[in-house]
Chains A and B, each alone.
Chain A
Amino acid sequence: MEDKIMKVQIEDLLMRVEKPARYLGNEMNSAHKEITEDTIRFAFAFPDTYEIGMSHLGMQILYHLLNEQQDVFCERVFSPNEDMENLLREKGRSLFALESKSPLKNFDFIGFTLQYELSYTNILNILEMGSIPLFQKDRGDEDPLIILGGPCSYNSEPIADFADIIVLGEGEEIILEVVNLYKERKKKNNYSKSKFLKEVSKIEGIYVPSHFAVDYHSNGKIKEIRVVEELRGEQPLTKRIIADLDEAYYPDKILVPYIDTVHNRVVLEIFRGCIRGCRFCQAGMIYRPVRERSLEKLQNMAYDLLQNTGYEEISLASLSSSDYTEIEALIKHLIEINQKDHIGVSLPSLRLDNFSKEMIEEIQKVRKTGLTFAPEAGTQRLRDVINKNITEENLLSSAKEAFEMGYNNIKLYFMIGLPTETDEDILGIKDLVYKVLNQYHNVPKEQRAPGLKITVSTSTFVPKAFTPFQWEEQITLDEIHRRQSLLKESLTHRSINYNYHDGKTSVIEGAFARGDRRLSKVLYKAFSLGCKFDGWDDRFNYQKWTEAFQSEGLSLDFYSHRNRDYEEILPWEHFNIGVNKSFLIKENERAKGEEVTADCRLNCSGCGINQCFTTKRGVC
């Protein structure tokens, strides 16, 4: 017991690190509990900095859900920043959870959220800094159970060797079942991890990677994904979702950080899923079906969350906020109740085709926010290929309205390297940006705000599992650089700013996004070579990554720059997200034929999700 309440001493380190408030753990609405012999201790670990992790909605939901259980104490862990990491290592101290300062090895569970592939080395780093054996096979009954969840679970094979349990689907639907089962088993004297894993694997939505084995052909492709432990019999493994969001758990308070974070505001999740079906978008597929919260529920949630945080801003979260059926009523309501307290309402993920001037004017009454548009591709042809149903007229008329309202700062997002992209499409981005620029100059001088700034950002397309483009090759590094330069050289106007990331991160991300289990070794090797914070341009080291691939005898080309055929067994073949493979194939073919597919509200395209799940307040 004494061991359980042991604390890592950090008092002497706090004045030696930047932003010590990252490590206090006593923020508004944080949970603090007495730790007893019966307490189930869960460390929710976000494998990135505090500022990024604290902006993550999933953590807020699971944290409060777990802490509302009497015998469970959920605490937070983030990747410590470099200065703190160096001090902890130098002093030989363990990484700790923020609330109790207990070392990580004192926990029953360490739960990691898999938000993006380039955070995987940080997961290994957190385990290592907590003196926890990295590989699943090396951990015993006394070690914490490592449980992973989040969007990358749908292809978690590259990190499978490090995980005990992987959650497929929506965590708040499953996590209590796992924790409660553990509580029951732990009470008995003959607890064994392997027995627990067998039992927990019977819960729908739970994937225990060590119960599976993968065989490969000599050409490197997968031959078979085999079950090595007796399972409940049902195959493949189907994700779990919440049927009715109104009935689902949502905290009435969220943690309020002291320091500024990426999304430092109340986040109101209005619906899950997306009606759109953009072919590059993994979220649009894996979060199906669409499920909305009712207006009344959202009004109550917004009231509670603002009341319990004192936040000055509320933001709507979803994959495409303007697609919420009662969006105008919701915004009107939020503005009405918040005007007195000057609480701003921000709306990320607006779409151009139903962006209404009235809505923006409403929002502006309280607080002026920036405008971001995401046409994603430069030509109508390519937008049809990716099924981004936005026209040039949509963008130009929205831009014009924005400039007329006095906006002078507009951001435009595009992707480069999309399937079928040619130089014409790249230069189409330039043409589109200059047309937006002209819209500004067409607005009379006395009406528009001076000092136009157009920020153009491109990201490099990374094909993802469970999308219609999952079979497509990613363009090579040289080609990424060439297309970026082509665009850079064509965007020379002084009001235009062009941002892009180095393509090297996209190539590694690409390998892990569609990688198989063999990449666990590459991951381990890269980590051993010193890779971490790979999502950060200034910390990413491409050379070490290529070295890691080489030393394990695996090729980046095989994972990133290779076309798969429809018959190939993909590393995620044993999972079922509810969307049929035949639908993904059909959509890929339609992409090649430059055919668009209508959104789910207009016309059901038969993706298969409604065969798997029944829901409330959805489209299907």
Chain B
Amino acid sequence: MAILRGKFSKTGEMKYISHLDLVRLFHRVLRRGGINIAYTQGFNPHPIISFATALSLGVESYGEYFDVKLHDEIPFQEFKQKVNEHMPRGIEILEGKYIDAKEDSLMSMVEYSDYRIALEFSSGKIDEGLLEQWINDFLNQDAIMITRKKKKKRRQRHQEYKEVDVKPLIKKFIFVRTDRERYYFDTLLTTGSKGNLKPEDLIQLFEKHLQSQNTDFEKEQSLAITSINIIRKDLYHKVNGELKNLIEAVG
């Protein structure tokens, strides 16, 4: 048995495939590619493959990861070629390496994700200095509260909600550049079991903040975000204070 950790991209139309569909697609492509995958025991055996973290529908990514258990080690290049041959355009295995079975699971290793976000605004053009000011104001709040669903207890019928401060989860949020009326931002967000903020939630919070702060706009019309495009660039684990992607992070 061998465990292969792979990194892949999910771009273009493939951003419309849900996480569950992606898992199923991997199962089928691995089988189609003739990869000697190991299966779980029990009545409904399925391939032993796990993913780092689910990507939201509509988000593209160049840094997704999986761990797959194989019956025997085959050269990574061969694996990559066989799998990519059968993957739809938009999903591509990029790199990979065999890891020790004792390594932590992908899911527990994920700590951060970085994203490139492109936004368009209802007002069309926006002054860049103003945009930076808004980000500063946004980040300088004492707390950035989000409403989240509480986990339902057994037999509980009604959904309960709670307020959570996500400010500590935003490690970086900066304006990068403009391309005509598209505004690009970079952000690094805590991801995984110890805390999780989705980029689309960040943008929603940012938009709410803009609308509450910009009374000038409100007289005319409230400023709204009319288009959002998000690309995940990579997933990280902190090793000795340094961010390493999930392949670099293992020995």
Whether B31 pairs with A256 at a CB distance below 8 angstroms is: no
Asked whether B21 is an interface residue with its Cβ less than 8 Å from the other chain, the reply is yes
**Which of A15, A26, A27 sits near B58, CB closer than 8 Å?**
A15
Known: A15-B58, A259-B21, A367-B45. A309 touches B28 (CB 8 A): yes
Whether A368 pairs with B25 at a CB distance below 8 angstroms is: no
CB neighbours (8 Å) of A309 from chain B are: 28, 32
Asked whether A556 is an interface residue with its Cβ less than 8 Å from the other chain, the reply is no
Q: With the chains together, A49 CA to B17 CA distance in Å?
A: 18
**Which of B30, B39, B86 sits near A28, CB closer than 8 Å?**
B86
Whether A308 pairs with B32 at a CB distance below 8 angstroms is: yes
Known: A15-B58, A28-B86, A367-B44. A310 touches B18 (CB 8 A): no
Whether B16 pairs with A20 at a CB distance below 8 angstroms is: yes
Whether B45 pairs with A342 at a CB distance below 8 angstroms is: yes
Known: A307-B32, A310-B31. A24 touches B39 (CB 8 A): no
Q: With the chains together, A19 CA to B24 CA distance in Å?
A: 15
Whether B32 pairs with A368 at a CB distance below 8 angstroms is: no
CB neighbours (8 Å) of B25 from chain A are: 258
Asked whether B13 is an interface residue with its Cβ less than 8 Å from the other chain, the reply is yes
Asked whether B27 is an interface residue with its Cβ less than 8 Å from the other chain, the reply is yes
Whether A312 pairs with B16 at a CB distance below 8 angstroms is: no
Asked whether A214 is an interface residue with its Cβ less than 8 Å from the other chain, the reply is no
Whether A21 pairs with B18 at a CB distance below 8 angstroms is: yes
Whether B30 pairs with A310 at a CB distance below 8 angstroms is: yes
Whether A341 pairs with B16 at a CB distance below 8 angstroms is: no
Asked whether A311 is an interface residue with its Cβ less than 8 Å from the other chain, the reply is yes
CB neighbours (8 Å) of B20 from chain A are: 260
Whether B17 pairs with A310 at a CB distance below 8 angstroms is: no
CB neighbours (8 Å) of B89 from chain A are: 26
| 8 Å CB interface, A1-46 against B | 14-15, 19-21, 24, 26-28
Asked whether B174 is an interface residue with its Cβ less than 8 Å from the other chain, the reply is no
Whether A258 pairs with B32 at a CB distance below 8 angstroms is: no
CB neighbours (8 Å) of A311 from chain B are: 28, 31
Q: With the chains together, A26 CA to B89 CA distance in Å?
A: 9
CB neighbours (8 Å) of A27 from chain B are: 88
CB neighbours (8 Å) of B170 from chain A are: none
Whether B39 pairs with A21 at a CB distance below 8 angstroms is: no
Q: With the chains together, A19 CA to B58 CA distance in Å?
A: 11
| 8 Å CB interface, A104-123 against B | none
CB neighbours (8 Å) of B88 from chain A are: 26-28
Q: With the chains together, A24 CA to B86 CA distance in Å?
A: 17
Shortest CB-to-CB span from B96 to chain A, Å, is: 20
Asked whether B99 is an interface residue with its Cβ less than 8 Å from the other chain, the reply is no
Among A19, A341, A367, max chain B CB count under 10 A is at A341
CB neighbours (8 Å) of A14 from chain B are: 16, 58
Q: With the chains together, A395 CA to B236 CA distance in Å?
A: 59
**Which of B57, B58, B86 sits near A310, CB closer than 8 Å?**
B86
Q: What 1/0 mask marks residues of chain A from 587 to 602 whose CB sits below 8 Å from any chain B CB? A: 0000000000000000
Whether B39 pairs with A342 at a CB distance below 8 angstroms is: yes
Nearest A residue (CB) for B58: A15
Q: With the chains together, A259 CA to B25 CA distance in Å?
A: 9
Q: With the chains together, A20 CA to B12 CA distance in Å?
A: 13
Q: With the chains together, A19 CA to B32 CA distance in Å?
A: 25
Whether A258 pairs with B17 at a CB distance below 8 angstroms is: yes
CB neighbours (8 Å) of B43 from chain A are: 367-368
Q: With the chains together, A20 CA to B56 CA distance in Å?
A: 13
CB neighbours (8 Å) of B17 from chain A are: 21, 258
Q: What 1/0 mask marks residues of chain B from 16 to 49 whose CB sits below 8 Å from any chain A CB? A: 1110110011011111110000010001111000
**Which of B16, B30, B32, B44 sits near A24, CB closer than 8 Å?**
B16
- Listed A/B pairs (24) with beta-carbon separation below 8 Å: A14-B16, A14-B58, A20-B16, A21-B16, A21-B18, A24-B13, A26-B13, A28-B28, A28-B32, A28-B88, A258-B17, A258-B21, A258-B25, A260-B21, A309-B28, A310-B28, A310-B29, A310-B30, A312-B28, A312-B31, A342-B39, A367-B45, A368-B43, A368-B44
7 further interface pairs, Cβ-Cβ under 8 Å (given A309-B28, A310-B33, A366-B45): A15-B58, A21-B17, A21-B18, A24-B16, A28-B28, A259-B18, A310-B28
The 5 A-B residue pairs whose C-beta atoms are closest, nearest first, are: A310-B28, A310-B32, A310-B31, A20-B16, A342-B45
**Chain B positions near chain A (C-beta within 8 angstroms):** 13, 16-18, 20-21, 24-25, 27-33, 39, 43-46, 57-58, 86, 88-89
